[in-house]
Amino acid sequence: MELKTYTISVYSENNIGLLNRISAIFLKRHINLESFSTSESEIPDVFRFVIVVNIAPDKVHKIVQQIEKQIDVIKAYYHTDEETIFQENALYKIRSSYLFEERQIQNIIKSSHATIVTVSPEFFVIEKTGFREETEKLRQELAPYGLLQFVRSGRISVTKAKMGISEILNTFKK
Partner 1 sequence: METKTKQEKLKATGSTLRISGAEAVIRCLLAEDANLIYGYPGGAIMPIYDEIYKFQDQLHHVLTRHEQGATHAAQGFARTSGKVGVALATSGPGATNLVTGIADAQIDSTPMVCITGQVASHLLGSDAFQETDIIGISTPVTKWNYQITKASEIPEIMAKAFYIARSGRPGPVLIDITKDAQFEMFDFTYNKCTGIRSYQPYPELINESLEEAVRLIGEAKKPFVVWGQGVILGQAEEEFKTFLETSGIPAAWTILGLSALPTGHPSNRGMVGMHGNYAPNLLTNECDLLIAIGMRFDDRVTGDLNTYAKQAKVIHLELDPAEVNKNVKADVTLLCDCKISLQALNDKISTKTYPEWIKRFDDLDVIEKEKVIYGDLNPTKPGLTMGESVEMINKHSNGDAVIVTDVGQHQMVACRYAKFTQSKSNVTSGGLGTMGFALPAAIGAKMGAPSREVVAIIGDGGYQMTIQELGTIFQQQVAVKIVILNNDFLGMVRQWQQLFFDKRYASTEMTNPDFVTIAKGYHIDAARVDKREDLDQAVANMMASDKPYFLEICVEKEDNVFPMIPTGASVSDIRLE
Cβ-based nearer residue to partner 1, 140 or 171: 171
* Minimum separation from the CB atom of position 9 to partner 1 (A): 15
* Minimum separation from the CB atom of position 34 to partner 1 (A): 22
Cβ-based nearer residue to partner 1, 65 or 149: 65
Crossing angle for the helix pair 57-69 and 18-28, nearest 10 degrees? 150
Cβ-based nearer residue to partner 1, 13 or 101: 13
* Minimum separation from the CB atom of position 169 to partner 1 (A): 6
Cβ-based nearer residue to partner 1, 12 or 38: 12
* Minimum separation from the CB atom of position 1 to partner 1 (A): 14
Cβ-based nearer residue to partner 1, 17 or 144: 17
* Alpha carbons 145 and 168: distance in angstroms, whole number: 52
Question: In three state form, how does the secondary structure of the chain look?
Answer: CCCEEEEEEEEECCCCCHHHHHHHHHHHCCCCEEEEEEEECCCCCCEEEEEEEEECHHHHHHHHHHHHHCCCEEEEEEEEHHHEEEEEEEEEEEEHHHHHHCHHHHHHHHHCCCEEEEECCCEEEEEEEECHHHHHHHHHHHHHHCEEEEEECCCEEEECCCCCHHHHHHHHHC
Tell me the one-letter amino acid at 117: V
What are the residues binding partner 1 (CB under 8 A)? 12-13, 15-17, 20-21, 24, 27-28, 61-62, 65-66, 68-69, 71-74, 169, 172-173
* Minimum separation from the CB atom of position 86 to partner 1 (A): 25
